[in-house]
């Protein structure tokens, strides 16, 4: 797909630009600041150094489940067109949990967090 190559370059460019700007300001990714990308784009993790941490949202699995749901709705529509007397509502809740893919771009936290979200030293 032509667009996926553009997206990969775009995400890579943003990560590289962020790393560059942070470095110019003396901010070290993975030491002074954490950077986490989304969607676990292949190739993205290995380009910038330190390697990016990311979340894999499992886009292929979400797409496959959406196609399956659409197929069920089309089948029900065809069944109704062919004279079925009852409408069978088709609905479902699909949950696909993201997976954290560790990388070197995340700092170790040396502080604990209080119940109101503030850092405790």
Question: What pLDDT is attached to residue 79?
Answer: 77
Considering only residues 47 and 3, tell me which one the structure prediction assigns the higher pLDDT. Answer: 47
> How far apart are the C-alpha atoms of 103 and 118, rounded to whole Å?
25
**H/E stretch holding 113:** strand 112-113
> How far apart are the C-alpha atoms of 1 and 3, rounded to whole Å?
6
> How far apart are the C-alpha atoms of 44 and 35, rounded to whole Å?
13
pLDDT tens profile 55-99: 888 988 999 998 998 888 888 878 777 776 666 666 777 789 999
Q: What are the residue boundaries of the structural domains of the chain, listed by start? A: 1-57+98-121, 59-96
Say if residue 26's pLDDT is above 90. Answer: yes
Look up the pTM and report it: 0.59
Q: Sorting pLDDT into bands at 50, 70 and 90, what band is 24?
A: very high
């Amino acid at each position: 797909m032509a667009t996926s190559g553009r997206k990969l370059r775009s995400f890579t460019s943003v990560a590289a630009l962020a790393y560059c700007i942070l470095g110019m300001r003396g901010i070290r990714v993975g030491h002074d600041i954490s950077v986490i990308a989304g969607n676990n784009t292949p190739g993205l993790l290995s380009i910038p150094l330190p390697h990016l941490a990311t979340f894999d949202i499992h886009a292929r699995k979400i797409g496959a489940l959406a196609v399956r749901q659409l197929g069920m709705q089309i089948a029900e529509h065809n069944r109704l067109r062919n004279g079925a007397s009852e409408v069978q509502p088709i609905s479902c809740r699909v949950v696909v949990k993201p997976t954290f893919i560790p990388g070197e771009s995340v700092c170790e936290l040396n502080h604990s967090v209080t119940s109101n979200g503030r850092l405790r030293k």
